[in-house]
Amino acid sequence: MARDDRDDPFGDIFDEIERMMNEMTGSVEQREAGTDTHVDVYTEDGVRVVADLPGVSKDDISLQCDGETLTVAATGPNREYDERVRLPVRVDEHSASATFNNGVLQVEFDRIDDSASINVD
């Protein structure tokens, strides 16, 4: 039986599937750059952000918050982290407290009330 020299009819489909998977999970280059940081945000009485930063020391972490977004930047020997976490509610950035233990960063904030009552005299 003679071999068909045409292109593989499924090649384009597999290329497209691979492209979409790379977009969803990040390509190898993106993972090495640290864009796959696992971050969870919890809203109980306040707001708690938990981020996995393996291979980073406490002194290499920089945190900034404007009340709406928390920026986490860190540099380890094998990767860099630069994450901007949009907070689900407005927080008092001056109330922040942070701990870092075994590669897990936890940052806690107090919520800011959405509105304030105003007394009329």
What are residue 90's phi and psi, to 5 degrees?
Answer: -70, 140
Residue among 54, 67, 66 at smallest CA distance from 100: 54
Lowest-pLDDT choice from 69-73, 87-91, 101-105, 115-119 = 115-119
Provide mean pLDDT across the span 29-45.
67
Residue 55 lies in a domain: yes
What is the count of structural domains for the chain? 1
Structure tokens at 81: 């982290």
CATH classification of the domain holding 81 = 2.60.40.790
pLDDT tens-place string over residues 85-102: 999 999 999 999 999 999
Residue 41 lies in a domain: yes
pLDDT tens-place string over residues 6-31: 566 776 777 778 777 766 655 444 43
Q: What distance in Å separates the CA atoms of residue 67 and residue 93, rounded to the nearest whole number? A: 5
* 42: β partners: 48
Residue 51: domain span: 37-111
Query: pLDDT class for 109, splitting at 50, 70, 90?
Result: very high
Residue 64 lies in a domain: yes
Contact present, 48 and 27 (Cβ < 8 Å): no
